[in-house]
Structures are given as C-alpha cells and as structure tokens.
Amino acid sequence: MERENEKVRRTAALTMIALLLSIGLVGLFPVSAEPELSGYHLLNIPVTNGARFDYYEDNSYYFKLNGGGLNTLHVTNDPWNAPSGQVNHGSSTGTFWVSDTGGRGFNDDIIILAAVNGTPGQNFNLKVNSRGYTWPLTYNGALPAKETVSYGTGINGSFTSSNFMTNIAQIWKPSTSSNYPIYYGQNMGDISKTFKLMFIDLKVGNLGTNVNQTYNMTLTDRGATRIDYTVNDLGSAKLAFNAYAWCNWSNQQQGVSWTNANSGSGASGWDVNI
C-alpha cells in the first residue's frame, strides 16, 4: 500500500514539475506574432486575380520600390481638378481614381491593395470595376503614342475573404521605406491592429498630367484609372485602399516603383470605417 502511495506522490510531483517547466518555457519563448511579408521592397508579390503581365509565371509583380517614390502616384476623388489627390473617407459604395503627376507621364499597369483590419462578416464581398487606358508596351521610357491608346474596362471582379494573402497580417504596406503606414493617420505604435492584404491587378494603366499636355487634355478622366467599388458585410472592420504602379521600362527599370503617400502634405488615399 505504501509503495502505491509513493508512486502516486512521485507521479504528482513529476506532473507539477512538467507544468512549471512548460509555464517557464512559454515565458521564455512567447508565441510568435502573425507572419508578415518578407520585406517592404525588393520582393515579388502575387495578385489575387492573375497578373496581366505575368513575366515570372506565378501571377506576381516585382515590387522594387527602391527608387521612384511617393510623389508621383495619387488617389483622388477628382482627376480633372485635383490630380494630386487627397485623403478620402468613403462609404460602402464609391468611386475613386488613381492619377499620375510625374515627369514620365504614364504607368503600364495599376494595382490596388485592399487591406482590412478587424473581422468582416461571413458574407464579406468586395466588388471592383476598373476602367482606364491600355496600349502596346513601349521601350526606352517612350510615351505611348496617342493613336495606340485604347480606353475600356480592365476588370469587373468580386473578391471574398478567401482572396486575402494566406497567413499574412501586418500594420505596414510595401513602400520605399520600412514601417510605412497603410492609411493616413495610422498609429504605427499599435502593433495589435494588423491588416489582412489583398493585391488586385486592375489590368489597365494610367496616363498622367505630363502626357496630357501632348494629348491636349482629350483623355477620359484626364487619363486616370477609375475604380468603382462596393463592399458588402464589412461590419465594423476597417478597409483601406492603396495604389501601386508597374512600368515595363523606366529610369527605375521594370517593376513596381511607385505608390501613394500616406503621410505628410502630399498624402492621398481611400478608406472605409476609418
């Protein structure tokens, strides 16, 4: 009987030691945070609806972002009178444009980032319709000739929670500098409010204010890319849109080198529930 009691006491002691060790180990090695993109620039990022220019044969674009900058590409509610954009707080349905005021004057393809913080409803759905210009790719940074450009629909897509990048949640967006905010006024010190990311290829480009001087202001929407969206069952979650521009041939070489600024006097963007 005494031997059985001793065995029970030893088993209980070993169980307690194991429990204490596990608590200690958890303290020493805390659970890791949600994974992020591998870097803020110089990386390939897939688009959820297939790449229009799929040079890597994996539906991704090279987000170079180590040149170019934040003062060329803008999000605006009025491409004619405000091509430099502004910060916009939209509703569940709206329209915005991606414009360009840079010296090069054009971007071959526009990509948007739809970033969601919080938990939308089970029936979350984001509908995106894009319209803009396309043209045969040019080389040596040459402007597309007016007779080669064509205006039309890029995408008419519908996206759900399944389209967010798997196991990615972070507070910053790819940009020309690290830890760059996803929306204007974001508290970058609050690392708990992470965003899920979805990159959407609009499959049209844009022609900027510089090329408009050549075309005598005859372009639809002054050459900007138009985005009509409707978001359903967002609930109390927050949605922020950002724009990126890909160019086949520029001083920054091929890749995505431009995005809209989310800080400073030149900030522009579009968000819902923020």
Confidence label for 115 from pLDDT (cuts 50, 70 and 90): very high
Rounded-to-integer distance, Cα 52 and Cα 273, Å = 31
Beta strands 87-90; 269-272: pairing state: parallel
Rounded to an integer, the average pLDDT of 119-135 is 98
Mean pLDDT over 188-196 rounds to 96
More confident residue, 94 or 10: 94
Mean of pLDDT values over 46-70:
97
1-28 average pLDDT score: 44
Q: Which structure tokens are listed for 71? A: 């003062």
Which pLDDT tens digit goes with each residue over 157-180?
999 999 999 999 999 999 999 999
Domain ranges of the chain: 1-31, 33-272
30, pLDDT greater than 90 = no
pLDDT of residue 214: 87
Place of tokens 């959407």: 200
Q: Residue 8 pLDDT more than 80?
A: no
Amino acid letter for position 35: P
Higher per-residue pLDDT: 67 or 133: 133
What is residue 26's predicted lDDT score, i.e. its pLDDT?
A: 38
In angstroms, the CA 49 to CA 198 distance is 10
Q: What is the pLDDT of residue 37?
A: 98
**Which pLDDT score, from 0 to 100, does residue 120 have?**
98
pLDDT tier for residue 68 given thresholds of 50, 70 and 90: confident
Q: Are 93 and 227 in contact (CB under 8 A)?
A: no
Q: Is the dihedral of CA 57, 253, 154, 164 positive or negative?
A: positive
Percent helix, strand and coil across the chain, each to the nearest 5: 15, 35, 50
Please state the rounded mean pLDDT for residues 39-45: 98
Closest CA to 184 of 83, 268, 79: 268
